[in-house]
Chain A
Amino acid sequence: MDEPPAAEEPSNAPPVIELRNVSKTYGEVHALAGVNFHVVPGEIVGLLGDNGSGKSTMVKMMMGYHGPDHGGEVWVDGKRVRDWSVNRARSLGIETVYQERALAEQQAVWRNMFMGRELVNRVGLLDIQRMRREAAEMMSGHLGFTSGAVHPDNVVQTMSGGEKQGVAITRALHFHARLVLLDEPTMGLSLSETRKTLDFVGSIKEAGRSAVFVDHNIFHVYPVADRLVVLDRGRVAGEFTQAEISLEELIDRLYAVAQTGRMEA
């Protein structure tokens, strides 16, 4: 995986993000052990793996919540980033849609939309009118929420699972994310809401942006991913372009990984 990006994308641009030899240890537990991973512009990478495979740790590392242990490196656009943090990752255009828990349930939609990035006016006070207006525009513009259905003043906990996901996704898009990290975005969603979310993943690609789609439901990941990376016990157990592996084959191999830790069926 150290070689340059796979050839399925026309662009020769450096990866949006590249993790080189990253490890993460919590006490005795090696959540990640020497993982190499990259995403090129316009690519949707599906990250598969069982519980405890290190998926969440990897997402948290890409979003800047964790730094890699000593020896690991994070590269963005072909440049090594040493002061890796949430704010750094965000300033480089990496956004996360972090399950439903991404939202503060008791707060209004507009407060969630601008979480950690509140707009202020000239004297430094919150520009509430502007945040509400922009929140309403985002919701009708990006996600086709009819303006009356979801009001920016609505409290998040009164909304349905799909609507919440919509708010989180809209938030990422609005802030011009170049790489969207989707951490189990379909969890707990109804069929139609799941479909809506998957459509969005497609639209990220259309917009020329990249995404890492994490899920343990391969039926959701496979159709929308260009490339699939399988994690097992903190290591990359296998990697395929969608073109070179069928869904059935992938399922067989995932069972093999679960039982033996190796991809070969």
Chain B
Amino acid sequence: MADKAGRSEVAERTGESAETAAAGGRAPTVSLRQHLRRHALTVATLGIALLIWLAFLVTAPDVFLNSRIYSAFATTTPLFAMIALALTLVVITREMDLSFGSVMALAMVGFVRTYDYTGNVPLSVLACLVVGVVCGLINGYLVAILGIPSLVITLGTLFFFRGVELVLLDGRPVVLRDPGVEGLRDALNGRTLDIPNELLWTVAVAIVLWVTLNRTRFGAHVFLVGDNPVSAQLMGVRVARVKIATFVIVGVMAAFTGLMTAMQLATLFPTLGDGTLLQPIASVFLGGTSVFGGTGSITGTFVGSFIIGSINAGVISAGIQGFYSQLFFGLVIILSLVLQTLISRRMRH
């Protein structure tokens, strides 16, 4: 998977202008130097993250040399990694979605209400995912059809979806301990061959999204829309439809993540997803997906998520107070973006 992903990153920005290429004589094939330049962004961001992780290893070696911590974040990291994987597509189209935390909770209202009325688990799961689709369609419509900047409008829907959920639940938690949902809990939160199912689901989602991005026409269009929407439109790519689809994918993944999280906690808390904003965004940028659109990789996000997950666990295990993790996620986002900008600017000269 890794070498194939490298191919998708052929599209990595090299920043070399036409003039320098023409003046300096062009390389006959893709040279090693070009190759390194293309991957510099990913390499640098991952390097920084690894340094942070090494710092934890030094600070709390007994924790970080123990496999239990890794098993622990194999069950917690998926709770934002699947959203991060989906969010990668949105970011490649040069948009952003901030509303997924609220979609997690609102979709779960769809689940518990349907379960209350019907007692049918598959139908309830479907209802949960449908709420995710609808939220994605709303975001997509506002961004792609009305043309409202996504960073602002999804901040609006973040509050709106949360508000609807709080009103519907009347601000009260719902316990999910009915014997009827135990089978679902096994599927989502059990273990297979001693591997947490959360991790297996995440790997499955990563594979599906990797194929979608790198091996389908839709995926090809995702890159084109983020790179040159005018040209893409002129060449017959349905730009608005592609953008809406990426928002729907995030909506569905947020709904599924909400379900997985609530089942893990055996409770739907009205605040579900409240603290999930930073990790997916940090994972996407850490994984080398460009904030300027047009390039990005699912593999990068996958690795990025688990580095973020280890930071999460590391901050706590290193004996630092939990609220320091916000500081770290913020720092990771800022550092990733500064690096992306500096590297791409430097390569232009």
Tell me the A residues contacting B by CB distance below 8 Å. 63, 65, 86-87, 90, 96, 98, 101-108, 111, 114-118, 120, 124-126, 128, 148-151, 153-155, 157-161, 164, 190
Contacts and interface: CB of A to CB of B under 8 A. Distances in A.
B16 A157 contact: yes
B330 to A, nearest CB: 28
Nearest to B223: A107
Nearest to B38: A155
B231 interface: yes
Interface in B1-35: 7, 10-18, 21-22, 26, 28-30, 34
Interface in B213-238: 214-217, 219-221, 223-224, 227-228, 230-237
A105 B227 CA distance: 7
Given A86-B235, A116-B236, A160-B21, A125 B227 contact: no
Contacts of A111: 11, 220, 223-224
Interface in B199-220: 211, 214-217, 219-220
A115 B11 contact: no
B215 A126 contact: yes
A157 B347 CA distance: 12
A59 to B, nearest CB: 10
Contacts of A150: 26
A31 B240 CA distance: 25
Contacts of B215: 125-126, 128
B101 interface: no
Given A86-B236, A104-B224, A106-B294, A160 B231 contact: no
B287 to A, nearest CB: 16
B10 A65 contact: no
A151 B29 CA distance: 6
A96 B220 contact: no
A115 B235 contact: yes
B217 A118 contact: yes
Nearest to A153: B10
B228 A104 contact: yes
Give 7 nearest A-B pairs by CB, closest first: A116-B235, A104-B227, A160-B22, A116-B236, A106-B294, A104-B228, A125-B215
B216 A125 contact: yes
B230 A151 contact: no
Nearest to A107: B11
